Protein backbone atom coordinates (compact mmCIF):
# COMPACT_ATOMS: atom_id res chain seq x y z
CA UNK A 1 0.00 0.00 0.00
CA UNK A 2 1.35 3.36 -1.01
CA UNK A 3 1.50 5.77 1.99
CA UNK A 4 2.36 8.76 -0.16
CA UNK A 5 -0.76 10.94 -0.17
CA UNK A 6 0.74 13.80 -2.18
CA UNK A 7 -1.07 12.56 -5.28
CA UNK A 8 -4.44 12.81 -3.52
CA UNK A 9 -4.51 16.61 -3.53
CA UNK A 10 -2.79 17.26 -0.23
CA UNK A 11 0.10 19.67 -0.15
CA UNK A 12 3.34 19.15 1.66
CA UNK A 13 4.00 21.91 4.23
CA UNK A 14 7.41 22.99 5.45
CA UNK A 15 7.40 24.13 9.10
CA UNK A 16 10.38 26.05 10.49
CA UNK A 17 11.17 26.61 14.20
CA UNK A 18 13.43 29.53 15.16
CA UNK A 19 16.66 28.35 16.72
CA UNK A 20 18.96 30.45 18.91
CA UNK A 21 22.45 31.19 17.71
CA UNK A 22 25.05 28.92 19.38
CA UNK A 23 27.13 30.66 22.01
CA UNK A 24 30.29 29.86 20.13
CA UNK A 25 29.11 32.03 17.23
CA UNK A 26 28.38 35.08 19.39
CA UNK A 27 30.81 37.95 19.74
CA UNK A 28 32.07 39.36 23.01
CA UNK A 29 30.01 42.50 22.40
CA UNK A 30 26.84 40.42 22.61
CA UNK A 31 27.66 39.17 26.09
CA UNK A 32 28.46 42.73 27.23
CA UNK A 33 25.14 43.82 25.75
CA UNK A 34 23.34 40.98 27.58
CA UNK A 35 24.89 41.96 30.92
CA UNK A 36 23.85 45.57 30.34
CA UNK A 37 20.23 44.60 29.62
CA UNK A 38 20.09 42.24 32.63
CA UNK A 39 21.46 44.99 34.85
CA UNK A 40 18.77 47.41 33.64
CA UNK A 41 16.02 44.85 34.25
CA UNK A 42 17.28 44.11 37.77
CA UNK A 43 17.60 47.78 38.72
CA UNK A 44 14.13 48.52 37.34
CA UNK A 45 12.68 45.61 39.34
CA UNK A 46 14.33 46.91 42.51
CA UNK A 47 13.05 50.45 41.91
CA UNK A 48 9.56 49.09 41.24
CA UNK A 49 9.57 47.06 44.46
CA UNK A 50 10.89 49.99 46.48
CA UNK A 51 8.30 52.32 45.00
CA UNK A 52 5.53 49.81 45.74
CA UNK A 53 6.79 49.43 49.31
CA UNK A 54 6.87 53.21 49.71
CA UNK A 55 3.33 53.64 48.36
CA UNK A 56 1.95 50.94 50.68
CA UNK A 57 3.59 52.47 53.76
CA UNK A 58 2.31 55.94 52.90
CA UNK A 59 -1.17 54.40 52.52
CA UNK A 60 -0.79 52.70 55.92
CA UNK A 61 0.29 56.00 57.49
CA UNK A 62 -2.69 57.84 55.96
CA UNK A 63 -5.08 55.16 57.27
CA UNK A 64 -3.51 55.41 60.72
CA UNK A 65 -3.77 59.20 60.66
CA UNK A 66 -7.45 58.99 59.67
CA UNK A 67 -8.16 56.54 62.51
CA UNK A 68 -6.46 58.89 64.97
CA UNK A 69 -8.51 61.85 63.79
CA UNK A 70 -11.79 59.94 64.00
CA UNK A 71 -11.02 58.64 67.47
CA UNK A 72 -10.10 62.12 68.63
CA UNK A 73 -12.92 64.06 66.98
CA UNK A 74 -15.76 61.53 67.21
CA UNK A 75 -14.75 59.50 70.23
CA UNK A 76 -14.53 56.20 68.41
CA UNK A 77 -13.47 53.31 70.65
CA UNK A 78 -11.06 50.44 70.02
CA UNK A 79 -13.86 48.17 68.76
CA UNK A 80 -14.21 50.32 65.66
CA UNK A 81 -10.84 49.01 64.49
CA UNK A 82 -12.15 45.42 64.58
CA UNK A 83 -15.18 46.43 62.52
CA UNK A 84 -13.02 48.43 60.11
CA UNK A 85 -10.75 45.42 59.68
CA UNK A 86 -13.65 43.15 58.70
CA UNK A 87 -15.12 45.69 56.29
CA UNK A 88 -11.81 46.35 54.57
CA UNK A 89 -11.16 42.62 54.17
CA UNK A 90 -14.62 42.21 52.61
CA UNK A 91 -14.10 45.15 50.27
CA UNK A 92 -10.56 44.20 49.25
CA UNK A 93 -10.27 40.41 49.52
CA UNK A 94 -7.16 40.38 47.31
CA UNK A 95 -5.23 42.72 49.61
CA UNK A 96 -3.41 41.85 52.83
CA UNK A 97 -2.44 43.86 55.87
CA UNK A 98 -5.86 44.89 57.20
CA UNK A 99 -5.84 42.79 60.36
CA UNK A 100 -6.81 44.59 63.60
CA UNK A 101 -3.22 44.25 64.77
CA UNK A 102 -1.84 45.88 61.62
CA UNK A 103 -4.43 48.69 61.75
CA UNK A 104 -3.32 49.44 65.31
CA UNK A 105 0.25 49.55 64.06
CA UNK A 106 -0.81 52.03 61.36
CA UNK A 107 -2.27 54.22 64.09
CA UNK A 108 0.92 53.86 66.16
CA UNK A 109 3.14 54.85 63.21
CA UNK A 110 0.98 57.93 62.55
CA UNK A 111 1.20 58.82 66.25
CA UNK A 112 4.98 58.42 66.48
CA UNK A 113 5.75 60.02 63.10
CA UNK A 114 3.18 62.82 62.56
CA UNK A 115 5.21 64.70 59.92
CA UNK A 116 4.09 63.54 56.46
CA UNK A 117 7.24 64.84 54.77
CA UNK A 118 9.48 62.85 57.15
CA UNK A 119 7.35 59.77 56.50
CA UNK A 120 7.74 60.12 52.73
CA UNK A 121 11.49 60.81 52.82
CA UNK A 122 12.62 58.37 55.53
CA UNK A 123 9.96 56.09 57.03
CA UNK A 124 8.42 54.96 53.75
CA UNK A 125 11.82 53.99 52.36
CA UNK A 126 12.34 50.99 54.67
CA UNK A 127 10.30 47.78 55.04
CA UNK A 128 7.13 47.79 57.13
CA UNK A 129 8.43 45.01 59.39
CA UNK A 130 11.52 47.10 60.21
CA UNK A 131 9.35 50.11 61.05
CA UNK A 132 7.30 47.97 63.43
CA UNK A 133 10.47 46.65 65.06
CA UNK A 134 11.55 50.22 65.82
CA UNK A 135 8.07 51.12 67.08
CA UNK A 136 8.00 48.09 69.39
CA UNK A 137 11.56 48.17 70.70
CA UNK A 138 12.57 51.84 70.80
CA UNK A 139 10.77 54.39 72.96
CA UNK A 140 13.15 57.36 72.65
CA UNK A 141 12.26 59.72 69.79
CA UNK A 142 15.85 60.54 68.82
CA UNK A 143 16.79 56.86 68.98
CA UNK A 144 13.90 55.96 66.65
CA UNK A 145 15.11 58.47 64.08
CA UNK A 146 18.67 57.16 64.50
CA UNK A 147 17.66 53.56 63.76
CA UNK A 148 15.46 54.61 60.85
CA UNK A 149 18.32 56.54 59.26
CA UNK A 150 20.84 53.75 59.84
CA UNK A 151 18.47 51.17 58.36
CA UNK A 152 17.98 53.34 55.30
CA UNK A 153 21.67 54.19 54.98
CA UNK A 154 23.07 50.67 55.37
CA UNK A 155 20.14 48.58 54.13
CA UNK A 156 19.85 46.62 57.39
CA UNK A 157 17.59 43.60 57.35
CA UNK A 158 15.07 43.24 60.15
CA UNK A 159 17.34 40.72 61.90
CA UNK A 160 20.36 43.07 61.82
CA UNK A 161 18.21 45.99 62.97
CA UNK A 162 16.86 43.94 65.87
CA UNK A 163 20.41 42.95 66.83
CA UNK A 164 21.63 46.56 66.80
CA UNK A 165 18.70 47.71 68.94
CA UNK A 166 19.29 44.93 71.46
CA UNK A 167 22.96 45.90 71.68
CA UNK A 168 21.90 49.53 72.19
CA UNK A 169 23.89 50.96 69.31
CA UNK A 170 22.31 54.38 69.74
CA UNK A 171 23.49 54.70 73.33
CA UNK A 172 27.02 53.62 72.39
CA UNK A 173 27.55 55.65 69.21
CA UNK A 174 29.95 58.57 69.45
CA UNK A 175 30.69 57.95 73.12
CA UNK A 176 34.41 57.07 72.97
CA UNK A 177 37.19 59.30 74.32
CA UNK A 178 39.05 60.87 71.39
CA UNK A 179 41.08 63.77 70.12
CA UNK A 180 39.41 63.90 66.69
CA UNK A 181 38.32 67.54 67.15
CA UNK A 182 41.92 68.66 67.58
CA UNK A 183 43.55 66.34 65.03
CA UNK A 184 41.11 66.25 62.10
CA UNK A 185 39.31 68.85 59.94
CA UNK A 186 35.73 69.55 61.17
CA UNK A 187 33.90 67.42 58.59
CA UNK A 188 36.22 64.44 59.02
CA UNK A 189 36.09 64.81 62.80
CA UNK A 190 32.28 64.81 62.86
CA UNK A 191 32.18 61.75 60.62
CA UNK A 192 34.73 59.87 62.72
CA UNK A 193 32.84 60.60 65.95
CA UNK A 194 29.67 59.12 64.46
CA UNK A 195 31.44 56.01 63.16
CA UNK A 196 33.20 54.94 66.37
CA UNK A 197 31.48 53.89 69.59
CA UNK A 198 32.10 52.92 73.22
CA UNK A 199 31.95 50.21 74.41
CA UNK A 200 32.35 47.63 71.67
CA UNK A 201 30.37 44.46 72.37
CA UNK A 202 31.98 41.16 71.37
CA UNK A 203 29.14 38.88 72.46
CA UNK A 204 30.02 36.46 69.66
CA UNK A 205 33.16 35.45 71.60
CA UNK A 206 31.05 33.52 74.09
CA UNK A 207 31.37 33.49 77.86
CA UNK A 208 34.98 32.31 78.16
CA UNK A 209 37.13 35.12 79.53
CA UNK A 210 39.75 36.50 77.17
CA UNK A 211 42.90 36.34 79.32
CA UNK A 212 45.31 38.11 76.95
CA UNK A 213 45.54 40.05 73.71
CA UNK A 214 46.45 36.99 71.64
CA UNK A 215 43.23 35.17 72.62
CA UNK A 216 41.15 38.28 71.97
CA UNK A 217 42.74 38.89 68.58
CA UNK A 218 42.33 35.24 67.58
CA UNK A 219 38.66 35.28 68.59
CA UNK A 220 37.91 38.49 66.66
CA UNK A 221 39.57 37.32 63.45
CA UNK A 222 37.94 33.90 63.74
CA UNK A 223 34.57 35.69 63.73
CA UNK A 224 35.68 38.48 61.40
CA UNK A 225 32.26 38.92 59.78
CA UNK A 226 30.57 39.47 63.15
CA UNK A 227 33.47 41.69 64.20
CA UNK A 228 32.96 43.80 61.08
CA UNK A 229 29.26 44.07 61.87
CA UNK A 230 30.08 45.38 65.33
CA UNK A 231 32.64 47.83 63.94
CA UNK A 232 30.02 49.17 61.55
CA UNK A 233 29.63 49.72 57.81
CA UNK A 234 32.63 50.82 55.79
CA UNK A 235 35.40 48.84 57.50
CA UNK A 236 37.51 46.61 55.25
CA UNK A 237 39.81 44.08 56.91
CA UNK A 238 43.44 44.45 55.80
CA UNK A 239 45.27 42.06 58.12
CA UNK A 240 46.31 40.93 61.60
CA UNK A 241 49.78 41.04 63.13
CA UNK A 242 50.92 43.34 60.33
CA UNK A 243 54.72 43.36 60.43
CA UNK A 244 56.61 46.64 60.86
CA UNK A 245 60.40 46.58 60.71
CA UNK A 246 62.09 49.58 62.31
CA UNK A 247 65.87 49.40 62.29
CA UNK A 248 66.79 46.14 63.94
CA UNK A 249 63.46 45.86 65.75
CA UNK A 250 60.23 44.15 64.70
CA UNK A 251 56.76 45.33 65.66
CA UNK A 252 53.32 43.94 64.85
CA UNK A 253 50.03 45.81 64.48
CA UNK A 254 47.23 43.78 66.10
CA UNK A 255 44.59 44.58 63.48
CA UNK A 256 44.67 46.84 60.43
CA UNK A 257 41.56 48.05 58.61
CA UNK A 258 40.73 50.54 55.89
CA UNK A 259 37.57 52.64 56.14
CA UNK A 260 35.96 53.24 52.75
CA UNK A 261 34.01 56.33 53.78
CA UNK A 262 36.71 58.00 55.86
CA UNK A 263 39.25 57.04 53.18
CA UNK A 264 41.94 56.14 55.68
CA UNK A 265 43.68 53.27 57.43
CA UNK A 266 42.44 52.37 60.90
CA UNK A 267 44.98 50.81 63.27
CA UNK A 268 43.39 48.83 66.11
CA UNK A 269 45.34 47.83 69.19
CA UNK A 270 43.81 45.34 71.63
CA UNK A 271 44.50 45.30 75.36
CA UNK A 272 43.14 42.72 77.78
CA UNK A 273 43.64 44.92 80.86
CA UNK A 274 43.37 48.51 82.03
CA UNK A 275 44.35 51.52 79.99
CA UNK A 276 47.98 52.53 80.46
CA UNK A 277 49.70 55.65 79.03
CA UNK A 278 52.19 53.46 77.15
CA UNK A 279 49.38 51.96 75.09
CA UNK A 280 48.69 55.30 73.41
CA UNK A 281 52.39 55.89 72.71
CA UNK A 282 52.65 52.46 71.10
CA UNK A 283 49.57 53.06 68.94
CA UNK A 284 50.84 56.52 67.95
CA UNK A 285 54.12 54.98 66.74
CA UNK A 286 52.30 52.37 64.65
CA UNK A 287 50.18 55.08 63.06
CA UNK A 288 53.29 57.12 62.18
CA UNK A 289 54.75 54.13 60.35
CA UNK A 290 51.49 53.39 58.48
CA UNK A 291 51.28 57.04 57.40
CA UNK A 292 54.88 57.01 56.16
CA UNK A 293 54.99 53.57 54.53
CA UNK A 294 51.47 52.44 53.59
CA UNK A 295 49.37 55.56 53.22
CA UNK A 296 48.61 56.64 49.64
CA UNK A 297 48.87 60.30 48.67
CA UNK A 298 45.06 60.42 48.34
CA UNK A 299 44.40 58.76 51.71
CA UNK A 300 43.37 60.76 54.76
CA UNK A 301 45.29 60.67 58.03
CA UNK A 302 45.39 57.24 59.66
CA UNK A 303 43.08 56.84 62.67
CA UNK A 304 43.94 54.77 65.71
CA UNK A 305 41.49 52.86 67.90
CA UNK A 306 42.68 51.55 71.25
CA UNK A 307 40.39 48.89 72.71
CA UNK A 308 40.95 48.21 76.41
CA UNK A 309 39.14 46.07 78.95
CA UNK A 310 38.85 48.96 81.39
CA UNK A 311 39.62 52.67 81.30
CA UNK A 312 39.44 55.72 83.48
CA UNK A 313 38.10 58.70 81.52
CA UNK A 314 40.42 61.19 83.23
CA UNK A 315 43.44 59.00 82.44
CA UNK A 316 42.22 58.66 78.84
CA UNK A 317 41.86 62.42 78.51
CA UNK A 318 45.43 63.04 79.65
CA UNK A 319 46.78 60.21 77.49
CA UNK A 320 45.34 61.91 74.40
CA UNK A 321 46.35 65.43 75.32
CA UNK A 322 49.10 66.73 73.04
CA UNK A 323 48.85 63.81 70.59
CA UNK A 324 48.47 65.14 67.04
CA UNK A 325 47.39 61.82 65.54
CA UNK A 326 43.61 61.08 65.61
CA UNK A 327 43.09 58.40 68.28
CA UNK A 328 40.00 57.04 70.00
CA UNK A 329 39.97 54.99 73.20
CA UNK A 330 37.07 52.64 73.92
CA UNK A 331 36.34 49.67 76.14
CA UNK A 332 35.42 46.23 74.87
CA UNK A 333 33.01 43.83 76.54
CA UNK A 334 31.78 40.32 75.90
CA UNK A 335 28.36 41.03 77.41
CA UNK A 336 26.32 44.21 77.32
CA UNK A 337 25.13 43.97 80.94
CA UNK A 338 28.26 45.62 82.31
CA UNK A 339 27.30 48.87 80.59
CA UNK A 340 23.69 48.90 81.76
CA UNK A 341 22.25 50.54 84.87
CA UNK A 342 21.61 48.05 87.66
CA UNK A 343 17.82 48.31 87.36
CA UNK A 344 17.94 47.18 83.72
CA UNK A 345 20.28 44.20 84.07
CA UNK A 346 17.63 41.80 85.37
CA UNK A 347 15.36 42.56 82.42
CA UNK A 348 17.92 41.97 79.68
CA UNK A 349 17.16 38.74 77.75
CA UNK A 350 19.78 36.09 77.09
CA UNK A 351 21.07 35.32 73.58
CA UNK A 352 18.83 32.25 73.50
CA UNK A 353 15.78 34.28 74.52
CA UNK A 354 16.54 36.90 71.87
CA UNK A 355 16.83 34.26 69.14
CA UNK A 356 13.61 32.59 70.29
CA UNK A 357 11.72 35.87 70.42
CA UNK A 358 13.09 36.96 67.04
CA UNK A 359 12.02 33.70 65.41
CA UNK A 360 8.54 34.00 66.93
CA UNK A 361 8.29 37.67 65.98
CA UNK A 362 9.19 36.98 62.35
CA UNK A 363 6.63 34.17 62.10
CA UNK A 364 3.90 36.32 63.67
CA UNK A 365 4.72 39.27 61.44
CA UNK A 366 4.61 37.10 58.31
CA UNK A 367 1.25 35.68 59.37
CA UNK A 368 -0.30 39.10 60.01
CA UNK A 369 1.04 40.84 56.92
CA UNK A 370 0.31 37.88 54.62
CA UNK A 371 -3.00 36.61 55.92
CA UNK A 372 -4.26 39.81 57.59
3-state secondary structure of 246: strand
pLDDT of residue 18: 57
Q: What angle do CA 224, 254, 287 make, to 5 degrees?
A: 120
230 and 272 within one domain: yes
CATH of the domain at 187: 3.40.1350.10
The domain of 317 spans: 171-339
Phi first, then psi, for residue 159 (nearest 5°) are -65, -45
Residues 149 and 221 in one domain: no
Element (H, E) at 251: strand 249-259
The confidence score (pLDDT) of residue 35 equals 79
How many Å apart are CA 282 and CA 286, to the nearest integer? 6
Residues 199-235 have pLDDT tens digits of 999 988 887 777 788 889 988 988 988 999 999 989 9
Q: Note the pTM of the prediction, 2 decimals.
A: 0.71
pLDDT of 75 reads 76
Is residue 161 located within the same domain as residue 242?
A: no
Total domains in the chain come to 2
Contact criterion met (CB below 8 Å) for 307 and 227: no
Segment 289-314, tens digit of pLDDT = 999 999 999 999 999 999 999 999 99
Q: Which pLDDT value is given to residue 102?
A: 93
Sequence-distant (6+) residues with CB within 8 A of 235 are 228, 257, 258, 259, 260, 266
- Domain co-membership, 323 together with 200: yes
Residues 127 and 179 in one domain: no
pLDDT at 37: 74
Cβ contact 119:58 at 8 Å: yes
Query: Quick one: pLDDT band at residue 336, thresholds 50, 70, 90?
Result: confident
Point out the domain boundary residue: 127, 150, 168.
Answer: 168
239 shares its domain with 185: yes
Q: Are residues 157 and 68 in the same domain?
A: yes
Amino acid sequence: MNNDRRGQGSEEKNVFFPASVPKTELSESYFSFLLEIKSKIKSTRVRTLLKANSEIIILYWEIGKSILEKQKNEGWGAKVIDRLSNDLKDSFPDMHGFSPRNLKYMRAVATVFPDSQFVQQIVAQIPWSSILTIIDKVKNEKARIFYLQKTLEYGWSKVVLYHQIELRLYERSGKLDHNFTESLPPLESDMAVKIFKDPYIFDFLGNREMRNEAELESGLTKHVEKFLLELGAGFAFVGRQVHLELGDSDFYIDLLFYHLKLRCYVVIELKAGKLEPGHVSQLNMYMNVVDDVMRHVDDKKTIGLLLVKEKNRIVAEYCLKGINKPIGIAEWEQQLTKSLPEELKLNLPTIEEIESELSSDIQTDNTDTTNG
